[in-house]
């Protein structure tokens, strides 16, 4: 296991005595893509700012690429980082290319690479137009292009897919996956839960400044113990009989041919076997595992309850 | 250093693109030419003194206009970028925070200096065209007006950054900038005069009065241009409250630099501690 590219250790942050982050510890390794999810004000942006060294933790420590991002070697750490802020805006009268040149200069990079980056985000044709003529999605892509300047080893992306259409979203995640293969650490803060759950390695759920859960989708499912939802289609009229034998399951809906129920994930095979044992023919079976939306809601509710 | 220059360059380019530079240059040139052409009426078109009249006119123009322009350029510099979210992105780059303020200062100063030199220079060109002697000694005063006008602009740029760094909202910065302009350009001298009149000239010693004059960058500018040179005092009459104030041009220049360095230093210091 290599050393993590970014790490928070018991990090807390308060503004004028108001705590916005409580004792958060988590680390992301090279080549890992982690989603940071949570309601507005849950502390996602605060974590990004801490990692960028724009604010200092009230207690605990922050490390990025082996440096304290708010310390004296901050510039060293930031050379290896790319950042896309939640609301990205650029001087309206500059062209896309000029903006890229400006940021490349700040990152001590050659301009030549900018053409490739503008190509990657699909702005090659618009690069000599002024930014004020860009659509929201184009600005967002320009924001993404500047984050990729200088092949960063750590990418912090705050709501990266807002304003992107489905095709662009897919190509965005393709870009992220190829960066991951190169060993780049990616931290994504987003509300777009469904599009992330199959694409990220780990998910960190924040609520009210606390880290509520941190793990892979499978880990989270296991930990959350949310039931799986199963829909059985039986031969005519047998659904009612099947439902009677599904003790322990939470029957949600029965009509002539279908029965829909919730059950703990590990019991699902046992229940299905019981139905077939009483001679009901199962024509079709759909299993819906708890998705990130449901897990997320569970933790948000817990967050409410514990505060 | 590279970051400093990149940010300065970006500000200059932005000033050029959004027509700020051209608008300011035309404004200053327009006023300077008007004052020069009107100013030459009483003394006749060809006179040694037309240059001196222009110098006096331009320095009065500077006191009103340059602080206003400088504050308009600078009050937004920090808080505006905070509100638009661009500062967050800028500071995520490998640069020191003083690069951000320093770069903006260099960029804005270049824009202001260009407008002043070209704008006022056009008045000079008209005077040459009208036949003012090219080796007239008063050209030195003319150059000094331009140079010190840029310095005054720099001082108000620095004050503007300080305002922009302190406030939490852009609208507040605009309000304070207007108040600062009113205070230093209009109210201060009136208040000072009022104080002298009310006082009957007894209570306030000369030292206190002189200190009060230097506590306003526009007064330091006025003293430098209107009283610093022989022959100028005769023209300026009552404007030269300073006739009995004894400052060497060099010390006045020092005060002008102080009015740049102190607010700029303070703004940088506060900016370095600011949580974005």
Cα dihedral: B31, B37, B42, B45 (round 10): 150
Q: How far apart are CA B129 and CA A186, in angstroms?
A: 66
Same domain, yes or no: A162 and A251: no
Q: How far apart are CA A291 and CA A273, in angstroms?
A: 25
Q: In A, which residues are within 8 Å of B4 by CB distance?
A: none
Domain annotation covers residue A306: no
Q: How many domains does chain B have?
A: 1
pLDDT for position B50: 74
Cβ count near B175 (within 10 Å): 14
Domain annotation covers residue A37: yes
Q: Is B263 exposed, middle or buried (0-12, 13-18, 19+ CB in 10 A)?
A: buried
Q: How many domains does chain A have?
A: 2
Residues A82/A149, Cβ–Cβ less than 8 Å: yes
Distances (CA, A) of B22 to A25, B19, B71: 54, 5, 17
Same domain, yes or no: A158 and A279: no
Same domain, yes or no: A238 and A175: no
Instruction: List, for residues A23-67, the tens digit of each pLDDT value.
Output: 999 999 999 999 999 888 888 989 999 999 989 999 999 999 988
B22 and A CB contact within 8 Å: no
A87 and B CB contact within 8 Å: yes
Instruction: List, for residues B55-82, the tens digit of each pLDDT value.
Output: 888 888 999 999 999 999 999 999 999 9
Q: Is B204 exposed, middle or buried (0-12, 13-18, 19+ CB in 10 A)?
A: middle
pLDDT for position B240: 47
pLDDT for position A192: 80
Inter-chain contact B10–A15, Cβ cutoff 8 Å?
A: no
Q: How far apart are CA B203 and CA B200, in angstroms?
A: 8
B6 and A CB contact within 8 Å: yes
Comparing A281 with B271, which gets the higher pLDDT?
B271
pLDDT at B222 > cutoff 90: no
**Most B CBs within 10 Å, among A54, A69, A87, A129, to test the B interface:** A54
Comparing CB atoms, the residue among A93, A106, A143 nearest residue B3 is A106
Inter-chain contact B94–A15, Cβ cutoff 8 Å?
A: no
Taking residues A213-238, what's their average pLDDT?
Answer: 83
B238 and A CB contact within 8 Å: no
Select from A199, A222, A245 the last residue of a domain. A222
**Which structural domain, as residue segments, surrounds residue A184?**
6-80+152-222
Q: How far apart are CA A141 and CA B84, in angstroms?
A: 18
Same domain, yes or no: A284 and A156: no
Q: How close does chain A come to B88, measured CA to CA in Å?
A: 7
A163 and B CB contact within 8 Å: no
Residues A24/A210, Cβ–Cβ less than 8 Å: yes
Q: What are the backbone dihedrals phi and psi of residue A86, each rounded to the nearest 5 degrees, phi first?
A: -60, -50
With H, G, I as helix, E, B as strand and everything else as coil, classify residue A35.
strand
Inter-chain contact B94–A106, Cβ cutoff 8 Å?
A: yes
Query: Helix crossing, B97-129 with B49-74: angle to 10°?
Result: 150
What 8-state DSSP symbol labels residue A1?
-
Domain annotation covers residue A259: yes
Same domain, yes or no: A158 and A281: no
Q: In B, which residues are within 8 Å of A103 by CB distance?
A: 93
Same domain, yes or no: A191 and A243: no
Tokens 């608008």 belong to residue: B23
pLDDT for position A292: 83
Q: In A, which residues are within 8 Å of B84 by CB distance?
A: 89
pLDDT for position B258: 95
Mean pLDDT for chain A overall: 87
Same domain, yes or no: A161 and A284: no
Distance of CA A246 to the CA centre of its chain: 37
Mean pLDDT for chain B overall: 85
Comparing CB atoms, the residue among A54, A88, A91 nearest residue B276 is A54
Considering only residues 179 to 238 of chain A, which have any Cβ-Cβ distance to chain B shorter than 8 Å? none
β partners of residue A210: A207
ipTM of predicted complex? 0.84
Q: Domain of A262: which CATH number?
A: 3.30.70.980
Query: Confidence band (pLDDT; 50, 70, 90) for B237?
Result: very low
Give the DSSP per-residue string, B168-195: SSHHHHHHHHHHHHIIIIIIHHHHHHHH
Same domain, yes or no: A64 and A161: yes
Inter-chain contact B275–A102, Cβ cutoff 8 Å?
A: no
Q: What are the backbone dihedrals phi and psi of residue A288, each rounded to the nearest 5 degrees, phi first?
A: -115, 110
Q: In A, which residues are within 8 Å of B7 by CB distance?
A: 106
Q: Domain of A11: which CATH number?
A: 3.40.50.300
Q: How close does chain A come to B89, measured CA to CA in Å?
A: 6
* Residue among A53, A77, A130 nearest B88 (CA): A53
Same domain, yes or no: A272 and A164: no
Token pair of A231, please? 């829909």
pLDDT for position A259: 84
**Most B CBs within 10 Å, among A48, A91, A106, A142, to test the B interface:** A106
Same domain, yes or no: A11 and A76: yes
pLDDT for position B41: 62
Q: How far apart are CA A226 and CA A264, in angstroms?
A: 7
Select from A185, A204, A222 the last residue of a domain. A222
User: CA angle, B118 as apex, B116 and B121 as ends, to 5°?
Assistant: 95
Q: How far apart are CA A236 and CA B44, in angstroms?
A: 114
Q: How far apart are CA B36 and CA B31, in angstroms?
A: 8
pLDDT for position B243: 46
B10 and A CB contact within 8 Å: yes
pLDDT for position A47: 93
Same domain, yes or no: A208 and A161: yes
Q: Produce one character per residue of A2-14: b if its CB has 16 or more CB atoms within 10 Å, e if not.
A: eebbbbbeebbbe
Inter-chain contact B85–A91, Cβ cutoff 8 Å?
A: no
pLDDT for position B28: 94
**Which structural domain, as residue segments, surrounds residue B67?**
2-273
Select from A222, A255, A277 the last residue of a domain. A222
pLDDT at B209 > cutoff 70: yes
Q: How close does chain B come to A73, measured CA to CA in Å?
A: 10
Q: How far apart are CA A91 and CA B12, in angstroms?
A: 12
Q: How close does chain B come to A239, measured CA to CA in Å?
A: 58
Counting Cα atoms < 13 Å in the Cβ hemisphere of A47 gives 37
* Residue among A152, A50, A132 nearest A142 (CA): A132
Domain annotation covers residue A96: no
pLDDT for position A228: 84
pLDDT at A304 > cutoff 80: no
Inter-chain contact A146–B89, Cβ cutoff 8 Å?
A: yes
pLDDT for position B24: 94
Instruction: List, for residues A107-155, the tens digit of each pLDDT value.
Output: 988 877 899 999 988 899 999 999 999 998 899 999 999 999 999 999 9
Domain annotation covers residue A60: yes
Same domain, yes or no: A233 and A195: no
Query: Confidence band (pLDDT; 50, 70, 90) for B230?
Result: low
With H, G, I as helix, E, B as strand and everything else as coil, classify residue A278.
coil
Q: Produce one character per residue of B113-124: b if its CB has 16 or more CB atoms within 10 Å, e if not.
A: bbbbbbbbbbbb
Inter-chain contact A54–B10, Cβ cutoff 8 Å?
A: no
């Amino acid at each position: 296991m290599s050393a993590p590219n970014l790490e928070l250790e018991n990090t807390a942050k308060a503004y004028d005595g108001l705590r916005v982050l409580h004792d958060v510890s988590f680390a992301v390794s090279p080549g890992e893509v982690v989603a940071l999810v949570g309601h507005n004000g849950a502390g996602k942006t605060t974590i990004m700012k801490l990692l960028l060294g724009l604010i200092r933790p009230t207690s605990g420590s922050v490390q990025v690429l082996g440096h304290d991002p708010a310390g004296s070697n901050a510039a060293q750490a930031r050379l290896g980082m790319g950042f896309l802020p939640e609301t990205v805006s650029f001087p309206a009268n500059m062209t896309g290319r000029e903006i890229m040149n400006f940021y490349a200069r700040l990152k001590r990079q050659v301009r030549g690479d900018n053409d490739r980056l503008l190509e990657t985000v699909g702005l090659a044709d618009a690069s000599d137009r002024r930014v004020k003529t860009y659509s929201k999605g184009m600005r967002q892509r320009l924001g993404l292009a500047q984050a990729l300047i200088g092949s960063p080893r750590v990418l912090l992306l705050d709501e990266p897919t807002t304003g992107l259409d489905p095709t662009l979203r897919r190509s965005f995640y393709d870009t992220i996956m190829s960066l991951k293969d190169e060993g780049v650490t990616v931290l994504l803060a987003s509300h777009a839960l469904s599009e992330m759950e199959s694409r990220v390695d780990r998910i960190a759920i924040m609520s009210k400044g606390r880290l509520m859960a941190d793990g892979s989708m499978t880990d989270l499912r296991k930990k959350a113990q949310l039931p799986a939802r199963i829909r059985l289609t039986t031969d005519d009229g047998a659904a009612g009989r099947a439902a009677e034998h599904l003790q322990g399951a939470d029957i949600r809906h029965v009509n002539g041919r279908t029965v829909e129920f919730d059950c703990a994930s590990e019991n699902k095979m046992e229940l299905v076997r019981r139905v077939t044992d009483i001679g009901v023919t199962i024509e079709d079976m759909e299993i819906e595992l708890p998705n990130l939306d449901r897990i997320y809601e569970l933790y948000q509710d817990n967050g409410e309850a514990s505060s | 250093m590279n970051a400093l220059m990149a940010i300065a360059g970006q500000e200059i380019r932005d000033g050029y693109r959004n027509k700020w530079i051209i608008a300011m240059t035309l404004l200053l040139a327009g006023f300077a030419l008007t004052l020069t052409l009107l100013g030459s009426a009483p003394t006749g078109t060809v006179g040694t003194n037309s240059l001196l009249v222009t110098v006096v006119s331009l320095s009065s123009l500077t006191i009103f206009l340059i602080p206003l322009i400088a504050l308009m350029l600078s009050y937004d510099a920090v808080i505006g970028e905070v509100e638009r979210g661009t500062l967050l992105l800028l500071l995520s780059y490998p640069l020191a925070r003083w690069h951000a303020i320093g770069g903006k200062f260099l960029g804005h100063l270049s824009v202001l200096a260009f407008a002043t030199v070209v704008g006022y220079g056009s008045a000079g060109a008209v005077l040459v065209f009208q036949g003012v002697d090219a080796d007239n000694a008063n050209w030195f005063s003319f150059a000094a007006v331009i140079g010190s006008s840029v310095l005054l602009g720099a001082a108000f740029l620095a004050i503007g950054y300080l305002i922009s760094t302190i406030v939490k909202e852009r609208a507040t910065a605009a309000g304070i900038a207007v108040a600062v302009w009113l205070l230093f350009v209009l109210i201060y001298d009136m208040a000072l005069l009022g104080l002298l009149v009310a006082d009957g000239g007894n209570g306030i010693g000369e030292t206190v009065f002189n200190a009060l004059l230097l506590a306003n960058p526009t007064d330091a500018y006025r003293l430098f241009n209107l009283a610093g040179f022989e022959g100028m005092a005769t023209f300026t009459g009552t404007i030269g409250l300073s006739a009995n104030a004894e400052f060497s041009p060099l010390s006045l220049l020092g005060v002008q630099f102080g009015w740049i360095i102190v607010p700029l230093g303070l703004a940088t210091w506060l900016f370095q501690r600011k949580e974005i």
